[in-house]
Chain A
């Protein structure tokens, strides 16, 4: 297949690699966001009964934010192979992304929750609103505008970090470039194509993140 970078075969190969990069990022960060939200809320509860869970969540977040992503990938690879040897490399990499994203997004969501002024919560309290109603009707609607921009920025950044999954053998964008070069393309052509694709996905995602930021900053309500 040497020679034509735009042959259907090569384009399909690159598209599949791009798909894996996006899959790992979107699925990992989306699940990570949902779990991160649960952990961030959990860490801000006060019930003595939940203390062990709060402690476990804190340990998880502090640990996984301090481990390099490549190490998380390798840890997941070896632990998953012990329990589910049939899981694909892409699946393993997605779990690793989820684990890392959860830890960071817990902090991002938490910072958003903490940004809601204390008197807003006291007002809800003196009106007799339950913990859950306060969270749902007062805290989360106000935290949203603080959470979304950095969460989106985190995801844009993580698109690039998923290149580390190539070390596991996941044929995502970065690995695809290497394969193209091995197949006889010049490094300039092979990695040039990869560079263009990374730029093509990062740029609009970055734009969405910053437009979110300016739109949400403009109004505290809605």
Chain B
């Protein structure tokens, strides 16, 4: 049984369809990369999965259990198993790095403050920011903020981590440090779903690559299959466009 099972998922805003009956699965430990043109629904898929945008049809199952997106308790249960990192980091500006990492574990998971802090310091050490615990987000570079955001998501001990174009807002020189963090994360066996335009990275890190267009899955398979021997015309033209630039 797959850890994450998305079936016929649809979503949209104001009569406009963004996701159009999308189906996708991920096994535990999978690193699934979503690629495709802008507006193909990649980021919307992540927003629907974490419950920020309501689905209009379809089901999402985690470990066989259907997620109830219309129910507060259902959303709460979901967010104990799944966490997300945004393109713009979105760290809480009024809290220190440590405060960002301990707020939710203490308030929503009921972890004791001392334990939450110890865990937070471990996570910061893992992302190479042990010395920044007392800093405020606006005192950090974009790359550092994004690594803190990843640590904050991990502080919730999720089974599934969603990464939404986490390097797109970064200074080119800072992209590498964030990719390095994700790379070491992948080796821990956590299940990841990521949207990225870093094709070389996608190819290196993914267990499965999913080509999306117009809210649907066009084609999916191993990185080698998608990048070297795509079968669908839409995937082929996308790959050609990428190679050309």
Shortest Cβ gap from B41 to chain A (Å): 18
The closest CB in chain A to the CB of B84 belongs to A126
Q: Is there a chain A Cβ closer than 8 Å to B225's Cβ?
A: no
Given contacts A126-B79, A126-B84, 15 further A-B contacts (CB under 8 A): A119-B90, A122-B52, A123-B91, A125-B51, A125-B52, A126-B50, A127-B79, A127-B108, A128-B76, A128-B80, A141-B94, A142-B94, A220-B94, A221-B93, A221-B95
List A contacts of B84 (CB < 8 A): 126
Alpha-carbon distance A120/B91, docked complex (angstroms): 7
Q: Is there a chain B Cβ closer than 8 Å to A138's Cβ?
A: yes
List A contacts of B152 (CB < 8 A): 127
A-B contacts, 18 of them at CB < 8 A, read A119-B86, A122-B90, A123-B92, A124-B92, A126-B52, A127-B108, A127-B152, A128-B79, A128-B80, A128-B156, A129-B103, A130-B108, A133-B103, A137-B92, A137-B103, A137-B107, A141-B94, A221-B136
Name the residue among B83, B92, B95, B156 with the largest chain A CB count within 10 angstroms: B92
Q: Is there a chain A Cβ closer than 8 Å to B115's Cβ?
A: no
The closest CB in chain A to the CB of B155 belongs to A127
Assess whether A127 is in contact with B93, with CB atoms less than 8 Å apart.
no
**What count of chain B residues pass the 8 Å CB interface test?**
25
Chain A 173-204 interface residues, beta-carbon cutoff 8 Å to B: none
Assess whether B103 is in contact with A127, with CB atoms less than 8 Å apart.
yes
Alpha-carbon distance A133/B152, docked complex (angstroms): 17
The closest CB in chain A to the CB of B80 belongs to A128
User: What 0/1 readout, one digit per residue, does chain B (113-154) give for beta carbons within 8 Å of chain A?
Assistant: 000000000000000000000001010000000000000100
Assess whether B94 is in contact with A128, with CB atoms less than 8 Å apart.
no
List A contacts of B86 (CB < 8 A): 119, 122-123
Alpha-carbon distance A129/B109, docked complex (angstroms): 9
List B contacts of A125 (CB < 8 A): 51-52
The closest CB in chain A to the CB of B91 belongs to A123
Chain A 91-142 interface residues, beta-carbon cutoff 8 Å to B: 119-120, 122-130, 133, 137-138, 141-142
Give me the interface of A with B, judged by CB distance under 8 Å: 119-120, 122-130, 133, 137-138, 141-142, 220-222
List A contacts of B80 (CB < 8 A): 128
The 8 tightest CB contacts between A and B, nearest first, are A127-B104, A128-B108, A141-B94, A128-B79, A123-B90, A119-B90, A221-B136, A133-B107
Q: Is there a chain A Cβ closer than 8 Å to B181's Cβ?
A: no
Partner pick for B88 among A119, A137, A222, CB 8 A cutoff = A119
Alpha-carbon distance A212/B156, docked complex (angstroms): 37
Name the residue among A120, A125, A126, A141 with the largest chain B CB count within 10 angstroms: A126
User: What 0/1 readout, one digit per residue, does chain B (22-60) give for beta carbons within 8 Å of chain A?
Assistant: 000000000000000000000000000011100000000
Partner pick for B107 among A122, A130, A142, A221, CB 8 A cutoff = A130
Shortest Cβ gap from A210 to chain B (Å): 23
Shortest Cβ gap from A207 to chain B (Å): 26
Partner pick for B83 among A124, A126, A133, A138, CB 8 A cutoff = A126
Alpha-carbon distance A122/B47, docked complex (angstroms): 10
Assess whether A138 is in contact with B90, with CB atoms less than 8 Å apart.
no
Assess whether A221 is in contact with B156, with CB atoms less than 8 Å apart.
no
Alpha-carbon distance A124/B76, docked complex (angstroms): 12
Assess whether B138 is in contact with A120, with CB atoms less than 8 Å apart.
no
Knowing A128-B80, A129-B103, say if A120 contacts B92 (CB, 8 Å): yes
Alpha-carbon distance A115/B104, docked complex (angstroms): 22
Assess whether A221 is in contact with B138, with CB atoms less than 8 Å apart.
yes
List B contacts of A222 (CB < 8 A): 94
Alpha-carbon distance A122/B164, docked complex (angstroms): 14
The closest CB in chain B to the CB of A222 belongs to B94
Shortest Cβ gap from A37 to chain B (Å): 17
Alpha-carbon distance A27/B36, docked complex (angstroms): 60
Alpha-carbon distance A137/B80, docked complex (angstroms): 20
List B contacts of A137 (CB < 8 A): 92, 95, 103, 107
Shortest Cβ gap from A137 to chain B (Å): 6
Shortest Cβ gap from B111 to chain A (Å): 12
The closest CB in chain A to the CB of B86 belongs to A119
Knowing A119-B86, A119-B90, A221-B93, say if A129 contacts B138 (CB, 8 Å): no
List A contacts of B51 (CB < 8 A): 125-126
